Structure 1
């Protein structure tokens, strides 16, 4: 009898729990229908999503910008590789390089390496902007606790740290991009004819070893730190300075992006130049490489081609960096706004 009563009580308790669960589910569904934005915001404000959103927004913004800027990046790389080891001779211009690429193939050749560029942004910019945003939030909290404001030194430190960390993670994709863009400069018999970024990565790892995927990592990291220092630190600083002007919010963002793009270009171009040379190089017949490392490349280029060679194509580089910075920062700002 007691066993029968126990079973009955358990059944009634289970029925009660089921009814409560059904009522809770119905209430959630009704609230979702009544206010879907609130449900979305609940999801966006979970601890995991709050930590992940800066990285997601950064990656999405970088990929949009790369799709727009890829042809300019292709021209920039070809300009940096032209006349290697020669101080005199013809000086290519962005227009002549563009004509040469189109004459040799078709207009879409300007998008060579887009898959590698997108992968690089998915890895590098995701980490770069994500780390920077995370660092800035922690610095903001610390500054508030001390009753102070974040200074330029803190912004610079956050930009340098975020850039260096992200560059190490994204170096293989960056290497694949350079190899794909420079492949067309080789004689037909020596071309790898990469079909995608995955094919390029597999081919490099198979023929040169997995460690080769981090070729040029040193200048890549220094370049990223210099670029981030110029882009993120000066963007943040410029926005802060323009805040009290009568410019609209959009005009402030555009102006700050243009300023950040100039400083990012100025500080990072020499390292970008060396990075391109190191990542493009391949072993000669005697198994030696043209450059032993970043310092050797700087020394040889300065001696053989002149100091100003490091700034060849500055206008093209700025046109590549500034719009990329503007699109990336504007999209990231917008995504950050709608996911607050």
Structure 2
């Protein structure tokens, strides 16, 4: 019975992940808008020389230093999508889809299956119900374990999705998720595969607890009050509401996670962010508190359909596999 929950959750997650991948890619690109580029090693090495020159050579009385270029205008999800297609081709909307498949196979299969096991264990046998606090607890535990398992694929997916926005000379050009994980392990060490893992775990705990718990709770409420019968309408309504709750809860952590995972650490240069808290503080200082909700429209645009496809597919798979 336990294995069945993993299989059902895995199938539903892979279908949902692949069908909404372009929306996830647009969300990642929007979350990286306005990010301050990391200083390069060359700039770091040049600073002492510049300092020496300014002390040894008499500077003219007035120096006309050109102002820094204005930051690029922030654009919406449709404009981002159109730009990706124009500059990189339609296929670019599915950049990193192999990583999505691996991520859903590892992360979502684990969290869905584990949540199902905890749900069976923690449901009151007399009433057949599970209190909301237990649903949330089950979601927190399942999300944490699933995220720890799936983090390497998550890092690879973020990098593959973000690659197209980099200048040609700076692109990583991973051929597949396996190539991405292999190159990261060789070039940056095995620990780089778990970069941002604390953020991934926190986000997954929030998403899983809010998504799965709210779906079950809303579905139960609809059925108990007789608003709708147990069918497609109930599943779509409950899942879209669950997607909205999950988006609001997870977006700030998701923005920081995306930036920490995508940061490029060059030899001889300090990393752009020393950790999650540093990234959050720098983001808020440079771009304002609402920067933590960057990409919210594509997040809800993706999380809504993802959650709908996830639970509708899950309910159908359960019907197909009910006799197994």
Offset at residue 132 of structure 1 (A): 0.5
SS in structure 2 of the partner of residue 277 of structure 1: helix
Q: Is the 8 A contact 1:124 1:169 kept in 2?
A: yes
Over 3 Å counting, the alpha-carbon distance change for 1:247 and 1:156 in structure 2 is same
Q: Is the 8 A contact 1:79 1:97 kept in 2?
A: yes
- The equivalent position to 1:315 in structure 2, one of 297, 308, 311, is 297
Residue matched to 2:309: 327
Offset at residue 89 of structure 1 (A): 4.8
Counterparts of 2:247 and 2:172 in 1: how far apart (Å)?
A: 31
Counterparts of 2:297 and 2:171 in 1: how far apart (Å)?
A: 29
- The equivalent position to 1:111 in structure 2, one of 86, 94, 99, is 94
Offset at residue 88 of structure 1 (A): 6.2
Residue matched to 1:57: 8
* TM-score after normalising by structure 2: 0.86
- The equivalent position to 2:228 in structure 1, one of 247, 263, 274, is 247
Q: Report 1:283-298 matches (<5 A).
A: 283-284=265-266, 286-298=268-280
SS in structure 1 of the partner of residue 241 of structure 2: helix
Residue matched to 2:182: 202
Residue matched to 1:125: 108
Q: Is the 8 A contact 1:156 1:229 kept in 2?
A: yes
Can you give the 5+ residue segments of structure 2 that lack an aligned partner in the other structure? 38-69
1:211 maps onto 2:228 in alignment: no
Counterparts of 1:155 and 1:235 in 2: how far apart (Å)?
A: 10
- The equivalent position to 1:277 in structure 2, one of 223, 244, 259, is 259
Higher relative contact order (CA 8 A, sep 6+): 2
Cα distance per residue 1:19-67 (max 9 Å; x no partner)? xxxxxxxxxxxxxxxxxxxxxxxxxxxxxxx221111111111111112
Cα distance per residue 1:107-144 (max 9 Å; x no partner)? 1110000000011001111001000000000001xx22
1:72 maps onto 2:55 in alignment: no
Over 3 Å counting, the alpha-carbon distance change for 1:148 and 1:124 in structure 2 is closer
Higher helix share: 1
Offset at residue 83 of structure 1 (A): 1.1
Counterparts of 2:238 and 2:71 in 1: how far apart (Å)?
A: 38
Counterparts of 1:242 and 1:114 in 2: how far apart (Å)?
A: 35
Q: Is the 8 A contact 1:88 1:305 kept in 2?
A: no
* TM-score after normalising by structure 1: 0.82
Q: Which has the larger radius of gyration?
A: 1
- In the TM superposition, structure 1's runs of 4+ consecutive aligned residues that sit over 4 Å from their partners are 86-89
Counterparts of 1:57 and 1:325 in 2: how far apart (Å)?
A: 15
Offset at residue 148 of structure 1 (A): 7.7
Offset at residue 292 of structure 1 (A): 1.0
Offset at residue 285 of structure 1 (A): 5.1
Q: Is the 8 A contact 1:85 1:305 kept in 2?
A: no
- The equivalent position to 1:162 in structure 2, one of 135, 142, 145, is 142
Residue matched to 2:60: none
Cα distance per residue 1:303-329 (max 9 Å; x no partner)? 111100111221210011111111111
